[in-house]
Amino acid sequence: MKVNRRKLLQALGLSPALLAGSSAAADGKTNAAANGGETKIVGLNPKGMPPAITLLPMAPRSPGFTTLEGKTIYMVDIGFNNGDVFLHEMQRWFQEHMPSVKTIYRRKAGDYPQDDPKLWAEIKAANAGVIMGVGH
């Protein structure tokens, strides 16, 4: 029985690019006699080799932010799907567990990479911290 490898891989939800071997094997002309009468299929790991990760330290905290007690925290939403729901839930958590922390929800103008000078000036004037809901 001849197996159509392309259809087999497609049925399994795999890409034919996973096949490796000689060019004859890629053309479907595998030398079955050399493999004891059976076709040999070799799969490659599609993940490849990830680059090395360089760890960076967290940014230093401002001297006035050694604790959140009595501080103001802006919950800034950039418009990611359901980011507002998540940030409002965080506000409820702060109200329940850290009532001395004032939270303010704001929707940033524009997309993530776009600047919002008016919002940043408001946050700076309030000497507040920021939690940004950027998604993913």
The residue with greater pLDDT, 78 or 33, is 78
pLDDT at residue number 119: 96
List the structure tokens of 89.
């839930």
In-domain check, residue 61? no
Query: What pLDDT is attached to residue 26?
Result: 47
CA distance 95 to 90: 9
Residue range 30-40: average pLDDT?
A: 66
Give strand pairing partners of 103.
73
In a domain, 22, yes or no: yes
Asked if the structure places residue 9 within a domain, the reply is yes
20 found inside a domain: yes
Which pLDDT belongs to residue 131?
93
Asked if residue 95 is part of any domain, the answer here is: yes
pLDDT in tens, 66-79: 889 999 999 999 98
Residue 57 belongs to a domain? no
Structure tokens at 23: 């060019």
Residue with more model confidence, 4 or 92: 92
Token pair for residue 105?
């929800």
Please state the domain count of the chain: 2
Using DSSP bridges, classify how beta strands 42-43 and 19-20 pair: parallel, antiparallel or unpaired: antiparallel
pLDDT for res 66 = 83
Mean pLDDT on 107-114: 87
Q: What is the DSSP string of 42-108?
A: EE--TT--PPPPPP-PPPPPPTT-S--TT-EEEEEE---TTHHHHHHHHHHHHHHH-TTSEEEEEEP
- The parent domain of residue 23 ranges over 5-43
